[in-house]
Amino acid sequence: MSDLFIDGAWTAATSGRTRDCIDPADGTVIRSVDEASPADVRAAIVAARAAFDDSPWRSTTVADRSAILDRIADLLMRDIESLALIETRDTGKTLAESRIDITDVVAVFRYYADLVTTSSDRLVDVGNPAVISRVVAEPVGVCVMIAPWNYPLLQISWKIAPALAAGATMVLKPSEVTPLSTIELTRLIAEAGVPAGVVNLVLGAGSDLGAALTDDPDVDLISFTGGLATGKVIARTAAEHVTRVLVELGGKNPHVVFADACATPEAMSATVDQVLTGVFLHSGQVCSAGTRLIVEESVADDLVAAVADRAGRIPMGPGVDPASLTGPLVSAQQLAKIVDFVAVGVAEGATLVTGGHRSTEPRLAEGYFFEPTVFDHCDRSMRIVAEETFGPILTVERFTTEAHALELGNDTAYGLAAGVRTSDAARGERMARGLRHGTVWVNDFGYYTPAAEWGGFGRSGNGRELGPSGLAEYQELKHIWTNT
């Protein structure tokens, strides 16, 4: 097998090792893929370095790069059904979710295809008519892109699209848990005409390849999305070479519901929808999942009862079954982690209202299915409230005043995203301004657009993806002073 893509060629790993990709819906092996050795990683970095230093890629016109990005978007749309099936089998998410991911990825490639054609060069008036002073954007150089398993195609594309637009070169390292869609995306990138060495792909575990990827002076930027612990290791390693680092980490996201959002049966039903989608999409394996429900005391009992009732009836099953609204957890390891977290919640004294177990349906017995779970009467001293569980667990805290709600919403080391539901527009705006999170949704949850920045406050990371800032991450600024 030759699953690595180095300097324009599909290449077998020199390690001689492979890793099984498991379908989490039934525990079967989808296929095995090559596992790179550190030497393969070095070869990929050397190829990316040469492609940056010696090839015309970085001096192609923005019009050429824009056309290539559009071509990648066209190819993604051409192959959307086969890609969606691969993503669903590798991650467990439903086919509908995979299709949405791919159309979102297409939108990101199109967005940067368009954005890059609008010059960001800036003229500066230095008060001397003989001098032309310009600030121009140039590609950052060689980038290492490390991605997580929950949105494999989407997360890596948030990096690839702006980096290609900027004229950078790169080495991709998808999660070892879900590498399959990134292999296919790399094929499409090559088919679109991206020159050899500009995009390289290595596969394998971070524990094996992390040092080779991040402790290398030939790398100019590391763009990482994943967990906090890994992000710290990468940032420390990168500091050795003063390598630029963009880290997008976890979240423990508050979802604040005011009583006025539950005032009528229709309002209550819409609020329940928002809470459920916010937390249980992709079985809660979403960095921005609204896992902390912070609800006004006067409506808490009613809202929790309604949420728990509906959560217990979410159709669960294999992602390829159109009847499924939620699929399995991604791996046996993730399942074990969620089982542990439930035990922690019970031991901490939270009230288990619904769920808390592996699915008991016989047809799901071989997969990693876990019931949507709600814990009531939680408080911030509990680990299930403070730590990212990354699974289908909702915790409930109660508040009495707006100030109290804000205090609870900001009481997290993270700061990725937050939701607010209220019929009072002024209060929605006050909360949006007061919450220290990278994205705040008012009367919605989970939406994003390629044109608006995504990223975290606090320990949710630094830098921004998407939007104009997402392109700037892959650029260096140069001041050119010309005395005419």
Beta strand 244-248 with 254-257 is: unpaired
- Which residue in 87, 97, 176, 248 is the catalytic one? 248
- Our finding on whether 143 is near ligand NAD (CB under 6 A) is no
Interface map 342-381 toward ligand NAD (x if CB under 6 A): ----------------------------------------
- Our finding on whether 92 is near ligand NAD (CB under 6 A) is no
296's tokens: 């006004």
- Greatest Cα pair distance, the chain, in angstroms, is 80
- Our finding on whether 206 is near ligand NAD (CB under 6 A) is yes
Cβ atoms within 10 Å, residue 444: 12
Q: Which amino acid is at 278?
A: G
Which of 58, 89, 159, 173: binder of ligand NAD (CB under 6 A)? 173
- Our finding on whether 446 is near ligand NAD (CB under 6 A) is no
- Our finding on whether 227 is near ligand NAD (CB under 6 A) is yes
- Our finding on whether 428 is near ligand NAD (CB under 6 A) is no
- Our finding on whether 35 is near ligand NAD (CB under 6 A) is no
- Our finding on whether 146 is near ligand NAD (CB under 6 A) is yes
Asked if residues 351 and 397 have their Cβ atoms less than 8 Å apart, the reply is: no
Of the ranges 62-70, 185-193, 247-255, 265-273, which one interacts with ligand NAD (CB under 6 A)? 247-255
Distance CA 473, CA 388 (A): 27
Of the ranges 30-38, 85-93, 243-251, 356-364, which one interacts with ligand NAD (CB under 6 A)? 243-251
- Our finding on whether 87 is near ligand NAD (CB under 6 A) is no
Assign 263 to helix, strand or coil: coil
Distance CA 6, CA 13 (A): 10
282's tokens: 């992709």
Which of 62, 107, 196, 233: binder of ligand NAD (CB under 6 A)? 233
Distance CA 484, CA 430 (A): 52
Asked if residues 201 and 172 have their Cβ atoms less than 8 Å apart, the reply is: yes
- Our finding on whether 461 is near ligand NAD (CB under 6 A) is yes
Beta strand 475-483 with 254-257 is: unpaired
Which of 251, 328, 367, 372: binder of ligand NAD (CB under 6 A)? 251
Place of tokens 């394996």: 285
Catalytic (active site) residue 402: no
Of the ranges 25-33, 89-97, 130-138, 150-158, which one interacts with ligand NAD (CB under 6 A)? 150-158
Asked if residues 303 and 272 have their Cβ atoms less than 8 Å apart, the reply is: yes
Asked if residues 130 and 483 have their Cβ atoms less than 8 Å apart, the reply is: yes
The distance of closest approach from Cβ of residue 172 to ligand NAD in the complex, given in angstroms and rounded to an integer, is 10
Place of tokens 């991604």: 330
Place of tokens 């791919």: 102
Cβ atoms within 10 Å, residue 8: 16
- Our finding on whether 155 is near ligand NAD (CB under 6 A) is yes
- Our finding on whether 249 is near ligand NAD (CB under 6 A) is yes
- Looking at residues 286 to 305 of the shown chain, list those that interact with ligand NAD (rule: CB under 6 A): 287
Which of 225, 354, 395, 412: binder of ligand NAD (CB under 6 A)? 225
Which of 149, 258, 280, 341: binder of ligand NAD (CB under 6 A)? 149
Among 98, 97, 95, 86, which Cα is nearest to 23's?
86
What angle, rounded to 10 degrees, do the helices at 38-54 and 206-214 form?
30
Residues 6+ apart with CB under 8 A from 353: 304, 308, 374, 375, 376
Q: Which amino acid is at 8?
A: G
- Tell me whether residue 43 or residue 156 sits nearer to ligand NAD (CB atom): 156
Among 188, 200, 191, which Cα is nearest to 163's?
200
Interface map 386-425 toward ligand NAD (x if CB under 6 A): --x-x-------------------------x---------
Of the ranges 59-67, 120-128, 143-151, 297-305, which one interacts with ligand NAD (CB under 6 A)? 143-151
- Our finding on whether 230 is near ligand NAD (CB under 6 A) is yes
Cβ-proximal residue to ligand NAD, closest one: 206
Catalytic residues: 248
Q: What are the residues binding ligand NAD (CB under 6 A)?
A: 146-151, 155, 173, 175-176, 205-207, 210, 213-214, 225-227, 230, 233-234, 248-251, 287, 388, 390, 416, 456, 460-461
